[in-house]
Amino acid sequence: MINTNWVRWLRASIDKHFSAAISIPLFIEGQHRDTKSLADFAELRMDGPDFVEVTKNYYQINLAISILIQSTKNDTNYHRLDTSIGIVTTAFTTIEVFKLGIGVQDTGDKIGCLSLTESLQVLRYGQLKPDVPLVHASVEGRYKMVLEE
């Protein structure tokens, strides 16, 4: 049976991993943010997880992580967005998953690692509004791990 804590532990571990690995301001999807004074920032999003019972009580977990990047255009550095993309792509490594939280079951113990299953994909969206000098891109990766209940 799927553990009711897995989704939370996965999300908390992913948030912790990318927050530590990315040197530009990073927000978690849904988090309150004030970005008016930021020239560059990123937003972390997760799709999934999906659970597949591969054998009795062993589950393969599949999920996708995407980080949306926003940079302000200027006339002195045309590569700001590329710099941010480079910073974000280096954070897509193996992610250790821990029992994180504030409950009794949240011991901080390591339960496994999420591994990339495909190559990273960089998508460039460019300037979405002609009158707003912002450019956008995203970096996306798919991960998997196996857990035992």
Domain boundaries, the chain: 6-148
User: pTM of the prediction?
Assistant: 0.92
Quick one: pLDDT at residue 60?
96
Q: How far apart (Å, rounded) are the C-alpha atoms in residues 83 and 28?
A: 20
103: tokens are: 């409950």
Q: Which CATH architecture has domain 6-148?
A: 2-Layer Sandwich (3.30)
Residue-wise pLDDT for 14-31, tens only, equals 999 999 999 999 999 888
- The confidence band for 129, taking pLDDT boundaries of 50, 70 and 90, is confident
Residue-wise pLDDT for 35-77, tens only, equals 888 989 999 999 999 999 999 999 999 999 999 999 998 878 7
Q: Residue 13 gets which letter from DSSP?
A: H
